[in-house]
Structure 1
Amino acid sequence: IIFSNLKGKFLNSVPLPDNLRMQVKESGPRRNGVLEGLSYANNFKELYASMEEPLYQDGPQSAFAPNGALVRIFRFDLEGKRPTGEFAYELDPIAHKPKTENADYNNGIPDILWIGEQKFLVTERSYTSDHRGTTIKIFLADFSTAEDIKDIPSLIKYPQVKKVSKKLLLNLDDLGMYIDNVEGATLGPVLNNGNRSLILIADNNFSKKQQAQVILFEIIP
């Protein structure tokens, strides 16, 4: 992970653990399913990075029914410039089955957002290519009871893993509006009533058929 200033000048870097190295065989990360979400934590002393999809050795990708698909979320010490932890997070099933035989589909994590203590807002994005829009879910994830799995090479061989707990806060399908390819989430400004805001951002993949979106929410305690 490389850090630069706003002009692109190199500032620093943090090495990745060995299990994030791409392999010729089916081991390590899947193509286009590697690190996707990033979030600072604990006064910028730590950085968390989430996988979009499971490592090969951790089990299957998300399916149309619950199948225990587990992605790893990595913790890095920015002062020591080293990885310090890994945690297992279970993905929801893919939201919509395809209508055509050659459709693409997946469900993964595009972003995570630290909100204090050991809690994060985790965004899950479910995509089916012949279904209009994407299904975006926001979960409150609690790491306090999750175990560190950095020394466990394969979750297939460790079914008793203590996962990150999660609670659904919002399924954007319930809003009745078109939602595109949400890639990022951040806390926005404090609103006039004192509540914080949450901003989601979606890109259009340079496609005329998609929409770039900035979506503002009020966080009601």
Structure 2
Amino acid sequence: MALVHSWRRMAVGVATAVAMAAALAGCGGNGDDGRAQPIASLRLLGSASLPTGTVFEGVEFGGISGLDRAADGSYWAISDDRGGERGTPRFYNLGIDYGASGNVTVKINRQANMLREDGTPFPATARTVDPEAIRTAPDGSLYWASEGNWSPTAASRFQPFVRQMTAQGAFVRELAMPAMYRYVDNATEGARSNKAFEALAVAPDGTVYAANEDALVQDGPLTTLQAGSVVRVTAFDPGTGRPRGQYAYALPPIPVDAAPGAPFGPDNGLSDLLAVGNGQFIAVERAFASGVGNTIRLVWTEITGATTDVIGTPRLAGATYAPMTRRVLLEMPLAYQGVKLDNIEAITWGHTLPNGHRTLVLAADNNFTADTQASQFIVFEVLPQ
């Protein structure tokens, strides 16, 4: 396995960076402006699961909340084990192999820790970060997103962020985050506990996009069975690391209610974004109903000339704006073609099939729950228009 072993600090020329990003994203067939041709449909190829309790190098594998294909064909995966639970916050390199016949195999190649600015790992004994997404940068380094950790006690409160690290986990930089995403009081403004950054994407032009899972407090209520909500998708300049635009993505109502007597109610959220072209994405909407299961929607969504830049809008509740477009590519209710859907939180491009069609790989966070969940990987063939 050929892993990336060096970080070149913004030394790649613009033309080279764009070409590398397009290759990493698998965006074949894009026009000169980096816009992709629409997808007609998706065909299930197969799935595989690693059972909860799988141990690698003495640490339990699981909690896979982000997945992205590297230039060498391997995959980067990040665990949402936040510390104070099963181990030190970490990420993995995986091998995921499959063909047109749909026989999917998954191999864990190695694991590493995300490091802090001083070069030390995040603590294994306390909650500080909540890793939820990982993406490959044009130069082979990695972006990763943390939901942070809400606490009413300031000393135990850690803010959401998006950072860049080397392929070995060393800190490179932190992107400049708009203040609206910060935890404030979990009641009147700011991010809601465990509802911050879940989605991360890198476009062919290198632009980094990050989005919260469900509405910020000032942007309105969380999704319900009766009404949807809205999240913010922020675009970051890859050179400066500063935001250069922000767009609203409308989440639909929760599709299925929880079972009677369930310990908690149902929810719906944006769990990941995959760049298809510049300003074009496949969004993963993940709904869960306790005692019932998961409903997963894959949605084609775009930032167009008509989409409102809301970065200067402090409160979306009651505001007038045009959200990103939304077209459902595939809805998978509870079980799909014999595959019982798990907690899908990640999506990436896979390899290209012999017929020239691209593939998508989805991954599920098993929540380290042995009785009912596993680390699931599902592969789809992309059928172009």
Q: TM-score range by the shorter chain?
A: over 0.9
- Correspondent of 1:187 among 339, 349, 365: 349
1:134 aligns with 2:297: no
Aligned twin of 1:167? 327
2:257–2:265 Cα contact (<8 Å) kept? no
RMSD over aligned Cα, in angstroms? 1.3
Separation in 1 of the partners of 2:337 and 2:211? 26
1:172 CA displacement: 1.6
TM-score relative to the length of structure 2: 0.55
1:54–1:60 Cα contact (<8 Å) kept? yes
1:105 aligns with 2:266: yes
Separation in 2 of the partners of 1:64 and 1:2? 34
- Correspondent of 2:364 among 162, 183, 202: 202
Code of the aligned partner of 1:142:
E
Aligned twin of 1:219? 382
Aligned twin of 1:152? 313
> What are the Cα deviations for residues 40-93 of structure 1, in whole angstroms up to 9, with x where unaligned?
11332x10001100011111111112x241111111112012011111111121
Separation in 1 of the partners of 2:238 and 2:355? 35
Secondary structure of the residue aligned to 1:70 is strand
1:175 CA displacement: 3.3
Code of the aligned partner of 1:166:
R
Secondary structure of the residue aligned to 1:165 is coil
1:180–1:204 Cα contact (<8 Å) kept? yes
More deviation, 50-59/23-32: 23-32
Identity level (%): 33
Separation in 2 of the partners of 1:220 and 1:115? 14
Aligned twin of 1:58? 219
1:51–1:73 Cα contact (<8 Å) kept? yes
1:156 CA displacement: 1.2
1:124 aligns with 2:259: no
1:103–1:130 Cα contact (<8 Å) kept? no
1:118 CA displacement: 2.1
- Correspondent of 1:84 among 241, 244, 256: 244
Secondary structure of the residue aligned to 2:218 is helix
1:109 CA displacement: 0.7
More relative contact order, 1 or 2 (CA 8 Å, 6+ apart): 2
Separation in 2 of the partners of 1:100 and 1:26? 31
Separation in 2 of the partners of 1:60 and 1:172? 25
Separation in 1 of the partners of 2:215 and 2:236? 19
Secondary structure of the residue aligned to 2:273 is strand
1:54–1:70 Cα contact (<8 Å) kept? yes
2:228–2:254 Cα contact (<8 Å) kept? no
Secondary structure of the residue aligned to 1:184 is strand
TM-score relative to the length of structure 1: 0.94
Secondary structure of the residue aligned to 1:198 is strand
Please identify the structure whose Cα radius of gyration is greater. Answer: 2
Separation in 2 of the partners of 1:164 and 1:175? 30
Matched pairs, number: 217
1:51–1:71 Cα contact (<8 Å) kept? yes
Aligned twin of 1:42? 204
Separation in 2 of the partners of 1:218 and 1:168? 16
- Unmatched 5+ residue regions in structure 1? none
Code of the aligned partner of 2:236:
F
Separation in 2 of the partners of 1:126 and 1:84? 30
Code of the aligned partner of 2:290:
S
> What are the Cα deviations for residues 111-159 of structure 1, in whole angstroms up to 9, with x where unaligned?
001101321000000011121x31110000011121100000011131x
Consecutive aligned runs of 4 or more in structure 1 exceeding 6 Å deviation: none
